[in-house]
Structure 1
């Protein structure tokens, strides 16, 4: 599909909006799976229950399986998603749009990157969330 988004630069803004949503979702999934593990729940059970809810989307289920398998084949490098979160925050600053969840997700991704997971898939943010 093709979309006309108006003036030059709007496609880049659209990309940042979508990457922001992906980053916040990934950070939430990582924290949820870490909490489930810490609470003594089986992560595979979490995914099975999730499949029965409105949260069941291919990306969340795929990344959840990567977390369970501790196998993070790189589809979207963590460092690239963190860069887009940073750019989204910059756009938010320019437009005076508060982005508190994005700011928190960005910090989680920065920490995972500092731990050496920048070139791994973004789902490797879970490794940071476990601690």
Structure 2
């Protein structure tokens, strides 16, 4: 399989390194030039080079605008061979996914949405989870690549179902981080330290891998981004829009999105998602 890869951000770089480590032939491109060690993967100097004569082209960028930019405005589709499988691993809306798939199919390409669950450490450890929507045969064709980056890969259903599952999971994540932030803030204002709060939570039924993974960052107040708050804010908005389109009631997600949007507007967007703790603390101090 000859793979072209578009997007070398915090997630894309470790994923490409793991794919190269597995022995697959991959050529990667980033819109902003970077000098990177990709563990044997070739760094393409141009988009056309990265996608030309490839069996599969994977897109891993920030949002739908970036996906459309590389495909249409920068002209990736003009350099693709008909029948190429385009795999979008970026997190975009279900409606955006279906529109993209319809257009690419009309141009003679195959398409799969295959976003991943997990942030930078699972990406580095090759323990992401892939949730894919598309043809079963295309999913099976991607087995070697998915195995190289993940601990599990699920064929969720037809195109759009992968995007729907990703937004569902990130809605749960957003609600959970909001709950964590409120509990840490409540604890501080009740003279209960974050490490004590987390010690007690760890013995309870509410403990989770997410809490375990963020524990040290919370205690040390390390808000450097593993999964940036602005990305989670975007995903919550996409989930709520899909809920509106399908008639799903999402009152808690809606209120949570309002909090994240306010935190984004207050300047916390490039911090880790747990910077919602910082934002809630700032509100608490202002109200005293």
Q: Which interval holds the TM-score relative to the shorter structure?
A: over 0.9
Question: Among 211, 221, 229, which residue is 1:78 paired with?
Answer: 229
Matching residue of 1:111: 262
Aligned pair count reads 131
Matching residue of 1:14: 165
CA contact under 8 A between 2:170 and 2:235: conserved in structure 1?
yes
CA contact under 8 A between 2:268 and 2:279: conserved in structure 1?
no
**CA offset at residue 87 of structure 1?**
0.2
Question: Among 69, 88, 93, which residue is 2:244 paired with?
Answer: 93
Question: Among 44, 55, 69, which residue is 2:220 paired with?
Answer: 69
Which structure has more helix as a fraction of its residues? 1
Question: Among 205, 223, 227, which residue is 1:54 paired with?
Answer: 205
Distance in 1 separating the partners of 2:200 and 2:210: 16
Q: Deviations over 1:94-129 (max 9, x none)?
A: 011110110111011111111111011000011111
Distance in 2 separating the partners of 1:3 and 1:71: 33
* Higher RCO (CA < 8 A, seq sep 6+): 1
**CA offset at residue 33 of structure 1?**
0.5
What is the TM-score with the length of structure 1 in the denominator?
A: 0.94
Which structure has more strand as a fraction of its residues? 2
Between 60-69 and 81-90, report the one with greater CA deviation. Answer: 60-69
Distance in 2 separating the partners of 1:2 and 1:33: 34
Distance in 2 separating the partners of 1:88 and 1:30: 21
What is the TM-score with the length of structure 2 in the denominator?
A: 0.44
Q: Deviations over 1:49-93 (max 9, x none)?
A: 111112222211332432221111211010000000000000000
**Structure 1 unaligned spans of 5+:** none
The verdict on how the C-alpha distance between 1:64 and 1:107 changes in structure 2, with shifts beyond 3 A counting, is farther
CA contact under 8 A between 1:24 and 1:102: conserved in structure 2?
yes
CA contact under 8 A between 1:29 and 1:64: conserved in structure 2?
no
Matching residue of 2:156: 5
Distance in 1 separating the partners of 2:209 and 2:244: 32
Q: Deviations over 1:5-60 (max 9, x none)?
A: 12111000000000100000000100110011011112211111111112222211
Matching residue of 1:44: 195
Distance in 1 separating the partners of 2:263 and 2:182: 13
